[in-house]
Structure 1
Amino acid sequence: MTPTAEQPESSGATAPPAHARPAEDVVAALGTDLRTGLTRQEALARLEEHGPNSLPEGVRESALSRLLRQFKDPMIYVLLAAAVLTTVLGEVVDTIVILSVVVINAVIGFVQEGKAEDALEGIREMLSLDAQVRRDGTWQTAPAEDLVPGDVVRLSSGDKVPADVRLTATANLRVEESALTGESVPVDKDPDPVAADSGIGDRTSMAFSGTVVAAGSGTGVVTATGEDTEIGHITTMLEDVESLETPLTRQMTSFGKKLSLAVVVLALVMFGLGALLYDYTLGELTLSAIGFAVAAIPEGLPAVLTITLALGVQQMARRNAIVRRMASVETLGSVTVICTDKTGTLTRNEMTVRTVVTPAGHYEVTGTGYAPEGDILHAGRPVSAVEHADLRALAVVAARANDSTVARQDGRWQLSGEPTDGGVRTFALKAGVRGDEDERVAAVPFDSAYKYMATLDHTPDGLVVHVKGAPDRLLDRSDSQSAGEGTAPLDRAWWDRQVDELSAQGLRVLAAAARRAEPGATAVTTQDVDAGGLVFLGLYGIIDPPREEAVEAIRACRQAGIRVKMITGDHAGTASAIAREMGIGDGAPAVTGARLESASDEELRTIAAEHDVFARTSPEHKLRLVRALQADGEVVSMTGDGVNDAPSLKRADVGVAMGIKGTEATKEAADVVLADDNFASIEAAVEMGRTIYDNLRKAIVFILPTNGAQGLVILAAVVLGLTLPLTPVQVLWVNTITAVTLALALAFEPSESDIMHRPPRAPGGSILPRSGLVRIVYISLLIGGGTIAVFLLGEDSGSGLAESRTVAVNTLVVGQIFYLFASRFSRTTSLRRELFTTNPVSWVCVGVMLALQLLFVYTPAMNTAFGSTSVGLDGWLVPLAVGVAVLAVVEVDKALRRR
């Protein structure tokens, strides 16, 4: 067996992890040699044992399975049952109509979901294609998937790290790990071991597979490949994470089962009562039972559900949100907690100088990102660097001790270089200082060993050494500070306090210093800088600024009763500072990953409920937090952009990925992808989701009373021994035209004015509110009773059976039209201007339904097919009176509830 970094060949005991052991011990444990690397034979043997350095293929869902999944819905079963019943009735046309609804429902879902590829594919693409590896004593280029534990590899600026590597030597090596850890700035790497319990973001002696070398170079030995890497570990987590059903799916499943059972039971009861009480023939009872079932089954409900969600998907696409599963739009509207990453989600992922400190005072810098747009303020007023020598000196160092550039490309300011240097460069440009490269004579590049960068530059005052770096390193090398046109003794204690104050605000602090160089100097070295004699110029306070629109979005979410929690891999101080600016956590300190690591599941539930800011978290921590919140009954949305977010996005009730800066793995694990990376789009999605759910409730509370009224007509007639006021085929006619017209109109309703002032609905509750159940009962009685009464009055007045039934059908249709008007506004009165202006589709649907009903009444072909006949004006006035009564009763009910 090949030795590993954690399991020395000579010992059966488990050694400390590779990041916590001296590099030479790790190399020895892996049985390799830094000077020669592995032999070709040894590499092949280890490749046979460990397998290729790639991630396993995930099981993909076939197109057929995805299509069949669209039919796994209780309401679809109800539709299919209705189709069977209409087939039994011999109404082939109506059977085709119902089956068409089923097929359209399935096709919309199938197309909308698109290619449901596994998130593993996105993570696989993060592995490097090639690697610089030492084999048989020579450096050579090899495919990354051929790497094995024990291989010696070389890393250079711009490389993707091909495997998990224990570093053995570094030269100014900095690695961009934000996709894995969430930290917003590159991490300085060093071969020295770190504590065994260090989080991923603090393992500075390691370079992890899939991360990117931002600067410098290094060598190291491979400790893990494939699924044994940190990215591979996330892959395993993704495989183990179970995707949850959405609240809407759970509610509609339960609702469909209960409704189907109730219809079957009532049909059997009606059949039994008719047989016991009256002399109906078996054929008449069977026909009546089928008619009742057809009347009571809401054929249009699944179609309305699908169309309502599809319309929401289209509207979200116009708001730069790509929805991968339709039900996710509704789920966003039901969330009680939004867990969000910080870097690139709440913040711009563009380092910005916010504050500068000179011996003369503090300056605030406005503007965000790399666009050199903004002011420098002193005592609240804009100032010019030309008039403030101390400020200009700081800007000169920012411009000259800097290898980054910012330039306008395609209408946007783009950074070339490291984010921190970009922020400092932008500050210099705001101060009016460019720092042309042709004035540089020599430079000492930044290195984590000494933590500064120095340049030797030609200036109008002669040769000057400009130094930018860590405050403590520059203070150690300074013996004076600037003071007007001259210098003054260095006040080290004062500067230390300034550094502490800026750090407490979550700012990354850099310092600037300078000194004159000897005339004719042509080089600058670390010995020149370390010799001291620098003049300390001041400090830069840098931060990854929050998105302004995200602050408003968080405020809107809180107003809507939704808690927003920040979960980031960044440092606690930075996380707390950003949280304060965003309005998250009420100023409480961040909970660190170390505390989460030691907490039991029960303790974690308490921590997750009581705190809103979490820092230095790993992928496991994020996943545990989401599970803890769900265990408390919360409906959780998780947003993020890094690979470290993928498992928690998949586990959340709805995962939201950033489309621009997000990794492919994150996008594939998510339900919704934001094309503009804008947290404010999540708030818009919440509003859209609530509107969709509101409209679904309206549709259900509209459809069920109409079906209830139709079922009541047949049930009452059989129980009372009356002639059927409606034939089964007439009931099917009303059901069909209602489903394709009136019920559809509610899908187009805009948001009601108070939609974002309501608290989230209780997770797991019924889709029908108690008031909706009450309304279903009394509207069913009102419309059903009115239809029976109209039929009986027609018979008593001597009208024929066909004419009485035709007026009864008109009563059902007109009553439903007026009930639609009342249903469009669930809480406020419908008797207002918005009834005519906010949803023109509703009036089109009413017009179509009336046109179809006129055909039903006045065309001979329809009279023959449905047993209807022409009627006079009375055949419409009586139904109109019933419709007005329905509208009046609902409006009185709403008025009483508002009080």
Structure 2
Amino acid sequence: MAAPVSEADLESPRSYARPVDEVAAALRTSADGLSSDEAGRRLDAVGPNVLPEAKRTPAWLRFLSHFNDTLIYILLAAAAIKAVMADWLDVWVILAVAIINAVIGYAQEGRAEKALAGIRGMLSSDASVRRDGSWRSVPAAELVPGDVVRLSPGDKVPADLRLVQASQLRIDEAALTGESVPASKHTDPVDADAGVGDRASMAFSGTIVSAGQARGIVTGTGARTEIGKIQELVGGAGALTTPLTKQLDAFGRVLTLVILGMAAAMMLIGRFVHGMPFGELVSATIGFAVAAIPEGLPALVTITLAIGVQQMARRRAITRKLPAVETLGSVTTVCSDKTGTLTKNEMTVRRIVTPVARYDVSGLGYEPAGEIERTDGDGRSGGDLSAVLAIADLCNDANIVSDDDGWKLVGEPTEGALRVVAMKGGHDGEAEGVRRVDVLPFDSENKFMATLNEGADGSRALLVKGAPDRLLDRSTRQRGAAGPEELDREFWDAVIAELSAEGLRVLAAARKPSRLDEVGIDDVDELEFLGLWGILDPPRPEAVEAIADCHRAGIRVKMITGDHAGTAVAISREMGLVSDDEPRVLTGGELESLSQEKLKDVVRDVDVYARTSPEHKIRIVRALQSHGEVVAMTGDGVNDAPALTRANVGVAMGIKGTEATKEAAEIVLADDNFATIRSAIREGRRIYDNLRKSIVFLLPTNGAQSLVILVAVVFGLALPLSPVQVLWVNMVTAVTLSLALAYEPAEPGIMSRPPRSSGGSIISLRELLFVLIVSVMIGGATLAAFAIVRATGAELDVARTVSVSVLALGQLAFLLNCRFLRRSSLTRDVLRGNRVIWWSAAALVGLQLIYTYVPFMNALFDSRPLSAQAWLLPLGFAVAIFFAVEGLKALWRAPELDANA
């Protein structure tokens, strides 16, 4: 009977750095693979090749968690008080506000679980595996360490494999490493310190075979794969509370203490100064508490953010979590992936150098629109350029096709770039009658591709493209202006170094006449060197402008990429991301050697990070956050998902992004455009400005009402408002007027000011004092109107109806004041720019008329119909309040107020 197998027996650490024989011995396997019985025993030991599902929080607990908020506690306390008073209308209205808030939050939740599900969806479903000495197809979930798997073009790698055979193998690892070009693979061990992107002897689960054939030994399955490690990082990254959440929590706690303190003081004064009956005093105190609690604030915040979500969606930014709308407005640093985010992820030929001339190529991506212009001499091109373009066209297996969505690549990105430049130059060998006779495919060992082509006249030529050093080694001459000439190796080495320093990937072209019928490696010699292509994944033009706008707004942009340092620096310079001649670059290897404390010391000074892994991205984000930075992280590959989860705002690409990345993010860009991030940040700042305006507008309602009741109790007067009337004013202003400010356009210069601080209160002390003074104004007007009506001999309910009207119309006047906190509202601009203001005003007036004249409302709220003359008093006080607040704004208009408005 076979000995039992343990999980520890099936480990081969750092397989990429060990010879194949050692890995096979460690995993107790061979080229013939495993037997079915042995595979079964190993499956029992290590479990299926699937990513484990994270333990989910029960739905009911997730729903209840949305009531864990100080403002919601205040609301529920108010409802409990009203239930004790048996005012069930008030109870159901308050509970409805709390429940709606929780339902919206619950509907937006669950991104961590969905992120993990998105990663699990990347795994292959089937695999070709060697079992019992023969090849068979088995579910990928049944793979175990030690299995021998074979790969073909188009296959999704089913597990982490140590390659034992590789023929011209290239694997697209963009989703895992961020590399825009498929990685060439081989079987030789690599350095033990190599990062994931440099482990050329490995094939990783979830990546896709672009070309070639391979066999490999399974070294990791399920959670022990590189994707499994990323899943663990996503689960452990931890989400952060947003600046708005922190501010609302702090505001709610302070407000609770103030309300309780004032209620206690009012009870003591009423009892011991005026000797009020205990029952009457308790009723007045409850009325004060209801007046002081801003029942509409949670709904105001939620609805304002929801409106922001809709407006951002029109700007192609889809929001998955409401608070992220506001958090964008306080972002201080944007950490961006390079490939597909700052760049187009479409390789493009930018330079051509021949022995005769240099050429620049315009146009971006795979659309064959652009020009090839000579940058030296007389601007004319000749046979030197045609020869290079012929190689680009004929020694090529890629195709560029057009459909309704634009131009698409069928094949590899580098060959696609060469095909496009040939099309830009008007070269079409097929149309000219050229046919391919034979091909020597690209091989990672030789690093070149060769084709044997026959022209319409029957002549044949060997066309070669590949690594410049390999082709130079096999060339004996070059094509000069007058024909073949001696190869100038020193010149070409200098040009290669120059193009590489610009971050360009350099490929070479060469050829020779031939009479062969087929081509082999030994035939590729004594070539005529034709020239070089400089290829780059080009920056998005709109992203360059967006980075400049971010810098003007005081927002740093940092590039975190899996690409090499030279390419990253070149792109960062071209995009204006760095301005230094020699910007500081931190590579993944250098970052590994730094402790977290050391990283904190340098993280703010480095704008380019190269050859990074998912663990590095999280460390960078955490180091920035340790300085109080509010970090937005962008990305499209699964390797970005953990950092997006950890960042204050995760921003995923909607077109090229993986499902795992989208589910980990708070914001998804529908157009994959970095410039949309700039627009989203601007929108976030506008939304936060409008939210604070709305809060500054809403609080005087509560302040005025509580002041009215407080003064009445302190001086032993009849209450000008009943508790149910207090609730009416609170809700009617919150539902109508407060939301109008959510539609306010952005303030001038909104992207010229630095990011706001993420700490402190949601409104400044200066604004709080402003709110208190306005509360006194509106409360004083209400008391004055109540006293005037009572002095005419009118009954109490009529006077209270007038008081409610003064509060409602006073708030309408104050709404116009709040449209422009930084400048005067005594301008025609106050009447235009926001149509919702007038719809809200009409709704308020309509509701107030219903409150005053509809019989069942009179019964519910103890209101009474008013004569036409009686409305003059509320209207007069409303106008007086508007001009009084404008006077206050004129007195207080100062740089400090401007900075906080």
Which residue, out of 610, 617, 620, partners 2:612?
617
Shift of 1:535: 1.0
* Aligned counterpart, 2:295: 299
Matches within 5 A, 1:461-472: 462-472=459-469
Contact 2:6–2:45 (CA<8 Å) still a contact in 1?
A: no
Deviations 1:87-144 (A, max 9, x none): 4444333333333323332333334448874322111121111112112222222221
Moved more, 657-666 or 107-116: 107-116
Does residue 214 in structure 1 map to residue 207 in structure 2? no
Contact 1:4/1:30 (8 A) holds in 2:
no
For residue 377 of structure 1, what is the aligned residue in structure 2? 373
The verdict on how the C-alpha distance between 1:415 and 1:8 changes in structure 2, with shifts beyond 3 A counting, is closer
Given that residues 351 and 358 in structure 2 are in contact (C-alpha distance below 8 angstroms), is that contact kept between their aligned partners in structure 1? yes
What are the superposed Cα offsets for residues 13-35 of structure 1, whole Å, 9 maximum, x if unpaired?
Answer: xx87211122222122222111x
Q: Deviations over 1:506-558 (max 9, x none)?
A: 0000000111113xx211111100xx221111100001111112112222222
Total equivalences in the alignment: 887
Structure 1 Cα separation of the partners of residues 748 and 378 of structure 2: 42
**What are the superposed Cα offsets for residues 706-758 of structure 1, whole Å, 9 maximum, x if unpaired?**
11011001101111222222232322222222122111222222222222222
1:193 alignment partner in structure 2: 189
**Residue 820 in structure 1 maps to residue 815 in structure 2:** yes
* Partner secondary structure for residue 198 of structure 1: coil
CA contact (8 A) 2:90 2:724 kept: no
> What letter matches 1:203 in structure 2?
R
Q: What value does the CA root-mean-square deviation take over the aligned residues?
A: 2.3
- Provide structure 2 residue ranges, at least 5 long, that are not aligned to the other structure: 896-901
Closer, same or farther in 2 for the Cα pair 1:101/1:380, shift >3 Å? farther
Q: Does 1:886 align with 2:881?
A: yes
| Residue 604 of structure 1: aligned partner | 599
The Cα shift of 1:40 comes to: 1.9
Partner of 2:899: none
Q: Which moved more, 1:534-543 or 1:665-674?
A: 665-674
CA deviations on 1:410-445 (whole Å, 9 max, x unpaired) are 241111111000011100000001232961111111
Matches within 5 A, 1:54-65: 54-65=50-61
User: Would you say 1:791 and 2:810 are equivalent positions?
Assistant: no
1:715 partner amino acid? L
Counterpart of 2:99 in structure 1 is: 103
Match of 1:498 among 495, 500, 506: 495
Partner residue, 1:581: 574
Residue 433 of structure 1 corresponds to 427
Deviation at 1:145, TM superposition (A): 1.6
What's the offset of the Cα at 1:62? Answer: 4.3
Q: Which moved more, 1:72-81 or 1:789-798?
A: 789-798
Q: 1:874 to 1:441 in 2, by over 3 A?
A: same
Give the counterpart letter for 1:480 in structure 2: R
Distance 1:268 1:616, change over 3 A: same
Is the 8 Å Cα contact of residues 3 and 30 (structure 1) preserved in structure 2? no
Paired position in structure 2 for 1:283: 279
What are the superposed Cα offsets for residues 61-105 of structure 1, whole Å, 9 maximum, x if unpaired?
A: 444344333333222222222333334444333333333323332
**How do 1:505-544 and structure 2 match up within 5 A?**
505-518=502-515, 521-529=516-524, 532-544=525-537
Following superposition, the deviation at residue 485 of structure 1 comes to 4.6
Contact 2:5/2:41 (CA < 8 Å) preserved in 1? no
**Contact 1:568–1:617, Cα closer than 8 Å, also in 2:** yes
Contact 2:649–2:667, Cα closer than 8 Å, also in 1 = yes
Q: Which residue number corresponds to residue 414 of structure 1?
A: 408
Q: Distance in 1 between matches of 2:285 and 2:460?
A: 101
Letter matched to residue 405 of structure 1: N
Q: 2:748 aligned with 1:774, yes or no?
A: no
Contact residue 5 and residue 223 of structure 1 kept, 8 A = no
Paired residue for 1:12?
none
The question of whether the paired residues in 2 share the 8 Å contact of 1:59 and 1:118 is answered with no
Does 1:488 find its partner at 2:456? no
* Among candidates 290, 312, 315, match of residue 311 of structure 2: 315
Farther off after superposition, 684-693 or 57-66: 57-66
Render the CA deviation track for 1:230-283: whole Å, top value 9, x for unaligned.
111112222222111111112112212221222122112101110010121112
Give distance in 1, aligned partners of 2:218 and 2:425: 46
Are 1:551 and 2:548 matched, yes or no? no
Q: Is 1:145 equivalent to 2:141 in the alignment?
A: yes
* Corresponding residue for residue 443 of structure 1: 439
Distance 1:675-1:382 versus aligned 2 partners, 3 A rule: farther
| CA distance in 2: counterparts of 1:371 and 1:543, whole angstroms | 15
1:458-479 superposed Cα distances (whole Å, 9 cap, x missing partner): 1257211111000001111111
Match of 1:167 among 147, 156, 163: 163
Distance 1:537 1:398, change over 3 A: same
d(CA) in 1 for partners of 2:705 and 2:142?
A: 70
1:366–1:375 CA contact under 8 A, matched in 2: yes
Change (3 A) 1:381 1:784: farther
CA contact (8 A) 2:237 2:646 kept: yes
Change (3 A) 1:6 1:109: closer
Greater alpha carbon shift after TM alignment, 877-886 vs 106-115 = 106-115
Aligned to 2:653, which of 648, 658, 661? Answer: 658
Q: Is the partner of 2:239 in helix, strand or coil?
A: coil
Deviates further, 155-164 or 132-141: 132-141
CA shift for structure 1 position 836: 2.2
Secondary structure of the equivalent of 1:891?
Answer: helix
**1:646-690 Cα shifts (integer Å, max 9, x gaps):** 111111111111121111211221122222211122112112211
- TM-score, structure 2 length as denominator? 0.95
| Alignment partner, residue 77 of structure 1 | 73
What is the letter of the counterpart of residue 566 of structure 1? M
Q: Distance in 1 between matches of 2:609 and 2:587?
A: 6
Question: Which moves more between the two structures, 499-508 or 304-313?
Answer: 304-313
SS in 2 for 1:68: helix
Q: Which residue of 1 aligns with 2:19?
A: 22
In structure 2, the CA distance between the partners of 1:4 and 1:571, relative to structure 1 (3 Å rule), is farther
Shift of 1:612: 0.9
Q: Read off the aligned partner of 2:561 and give its amino acid letter.
A: T
User: Could you say which residue in structure 2 is the equivalent of 1:804?
Assistant: 799
Task: Give the match for residue 560 of structure 2.
Answer: 567
Q: 1:452 aligns with which of 418, 429, 448?
A: 448
Q: Letter of the 1:238 partner, please give it.
A: V
SS of 1:586 mapped into structure 2: coil
- Structure 2 vs 1, CA of residues 540 and 4 (structure 1 numbering), >3 Å: closer, same or farther? farther
- 288-297 or 257-266: bigger deviation: 257-266
SS of 2:652's equivalent in the other structure is strand
Equivalent residues of 1:132, 1:140 under 8 A apart: yes
Once the two structures are superposed, residues 372-396 of structure 1 have per-residue CA deviations (whole angstroms, 9 ceiling, x without a partner) of 0011122399967xx5211111100
Is the CA contact (8 Å cut-off) linking 1:811 and 1:882 kept in structure 2?
A: yes
Match of 1:32 among 29, 32, 50: 29
Aligned 8 A contact 2:434 2:456 in 1? no
CA-CA distance at 1:856 after TM superposition:
3.5
Q: Which amino acid aligns with 2:26?
A: A
**SS at 2:893's partner residue?**
helix
What is the CA–CA distance in structure 2 between the aligned matches of 1:658 and 1:383, rounded to whole Å? 41
Q: Measure the CA separation in 2 of the matches of 1:802 and 1:77.
A: 32
| Amino acid aligned to 1:848 | A
Q: Is the 8 A contact 1:161 1:209 kept in 2?
A: yes
Secondary structure of 2:171 counterpart: strand
Residue 381 and residue 790 in structure 1: after superposition, are their counterparts in 2 closer, same or farther (change >3 A)?
farther
**Which region of structure 1 is more displaced relative to structure 2, 178-187 or 792-801?**
792-801
Call closer, same or farther: CA 1:382–1:407 in 2, change over 3 Å. farther
- Code of the aligned partner of 2:65: R
Aligned to 1:703: 698
In 2, Cα distance between equivalents of 1:504 and 1:799: 88
Tell me how far apart the structure 2 counterparts of residues 303 and 330 of structure 1 sit (CA, whole Å): 15
Name the CA distance, whole Å, in 2 between partners of 1:16 and 1:54.
Answer: 20
**How far is the alpha carbon of 1:2 from its aligned partner?**
8.7
Partner of 1:361: 357
Q: What is the 5 A alignment of 1:2-21? A: 17-21=14-18
